[in-house]
Amino acid sequence: MQPTNPQSLPRVIGPWIATAIIIGTVIGSGVFKKGRNVADNVPEFGLAMSVWVLGGLLALLGALALAEIAVLFPKAGGNYVFLREGYGRWAGFLWGWVEFWIIRSASIAALATMFTESFHDVLRQSLDPVAKRDVLAFWPRQIMTAAVIAGLTFVNVRGTQLSGRLQFGITMLKVTSLLFIIALPFAVYAAVSEPTHPPRVEHLNPTWPPGLFGINWSGFGVALVGVLWAYNGWMNIAPIAEEVKEPQRNIPRSLLLAVFALIALYCGANLAYNLVLPREAIIAKDTAGHLSATPIATEFCGVLLGPVGVILASAIVMTSVFGALNGNLLVGPRLLYAMGQDRLASAKFAQLHPRYQTPALAIIVMAGWSMLLVLCVGALTQYRVPTVPLGFTELDLNVPAGKSPFDIMTDFVIFGSVTFETLAVATIFVFRWRIPVTQENRPYRCWGYPFVPALYIAIMALVLLNFFVNPDSRTEAFVGMGFIASGAVVYALFFRRRGI
């Protein structure tokens, strides 16, 4: 079936804004939060840094392959288009099913939650710096979180170029903030006549385990999953490829430039954290054994700059998360737009706003579901619900004690994204087989083909296997598989017989 809507999105995004969209949607909460998970599972500094490098190299390997696919199909929808063209419409539908209901919407909800929590930290430090009691109650914070999503929805409906310019400005600000964090220990050391804090090289010990047999590979895998959340979003140029100027040239350049910048910023920030804070302070477990919910940057700046540093760090986290949130609201609804064109979702999603030329309804629906997720997850953390009988067992829907709404939502993002993003990268083999390679249809070709995409797929397959092997992530894996299976049932019942 041909697309039912002849409208196309205008190409208004240049190379710098495209790069800013990738960096801006990737740098959000991970660089400030997931270092705790890495340090908790990987006690050696050198090995912990290798987790951050490996996460970046995986993104680089994937980007080298994905750039060729995106140039071949520069259409709105990204992975949806690649999976549909590579394996069939059923694969595109399953990606859209999981992306809308869990991956993208939960990412938006998690980022908005962290924005509000960082804002609350600023209020607590400013209004009640000694006791640091809650200035806003739990439910007002959840309502504020939903309001932040609603405000950015308005901006994105108003125009892609407007949202892109906002994204560019915020990205420059957050990159500058990370460079500030990287340089801060050395600046304080140089400014203070008798330095007592940074940098402490002894914090980097132990650097490496005694040998390969001394590495806790299961813990390494858990840490890598946390780092993958920090790099999650490197594919975000693909869903808006239809709106990028000169996509054959600008998509590969933007992807590669963004990934190299991310690796440098992430490794630099984590080196700075470890030079100032000992491993115990980075992990910062409470009396119940739960990891601290406070961003590492808050404690880092607090040690170096005192109370002013705490407020500054919270403002940095707010800015970073705000940019990632805006980027996800810019990129995510293009999925519904593409599915609406193919009648795998309501055709109304493919209609553009008559004045702003944006998929307004798709933006509003995705934002609305994300706001509902904020409230539903908030309720799960506040109230206990009955267990659900499942034949031979019971499903406990209650949240484990001490688990934040942010962690709940991010836990269910990574499994689905790793599964389908790996399948999307694997389509490069399908397209090389089906479509002859010419300069006209492939002005950019994957460097190191077929070894680069094959290595990416092999490593990501091990990551997925670790989800099932490790008891800490097994629940997320089985719930994710169950949700994918439910999407397959929906497709079989409502779309397969239509010849779609």
Please say if the pLDDT value at position 117 is more than 70. yes
Of 251-255, 327-331, 409-413, the poorest mean pLDDT is in 409-413
Band (pLDDT 50/70/90 cuts) for residue 132 is low
Has residue 282 been placed in a domain?
Answer: yes
Whole-number Cα distances in Å, 310 to 44, 138, 384: 27, 21, 34
Has residue 257 been placed in a domain?
Answer: yes
Per-residue model confidence as pLDDT tens digits over 384-405: 555 545 444 444 444 444 445 5
CATH code of the domain covering residue 377: 1.20.1740.10
Per-residue model confidence as pLDDT tens digits over 336-370: 998 998 889 888 998 888 888 888 999 999 999 99
Q: Do 334 and 345 touch, CB atoms closer than 8 A? A: no
Round to whole Å and give the CA distance between 145 and 106: 13
Band (pLDDT 50/70/90 cuts) for residue 3 is very low
Has residue 8 been placed in a domain?
Answer: no
Whole-number Cα distances in Å, 347 to 53, 77, 238, 316, 342: 42, 15, 21, 40, 8
Round to whole Å and give the CA distance between 225 and 220: 9
Has residue 9 been placed in a domain?
Answer: no
- Residue in the block written with tokens 């836990």: 411
Beta pairing partners, 244: 13
The whole-number average pLDDT for the span 252-265 is: 90
Find the domain containing 301 and state its range: 15-498
pTM of the model: 0.79
Has residue 2 been placed in a domain?
Answer: no
Has residue 10 been placed in a domain?
Answer: no
Residue 394: helix, strand or coil by DSSP?
A: strand
What's the structural domain count of the chain? 1
Has residue 64 been placed in a domain?
Answer: yes
In SS3 terms, 163-224 reads as HHHHHHHHHHHHHHHHHHHHHHHHHHHHHCCCCCCCCCHHHHCCCCCCCHHHCCHHHHHHHH
Residue 389: helix, strand or coil by DSSP?
A: strand
Has residue 1 been placed in a domain?
Answer: no
Per-residue model confidence as pLDDT tens digits over 172-222: 888 999 999 999 988 887 776 555 555 677 778 878 887 666 778 878 888
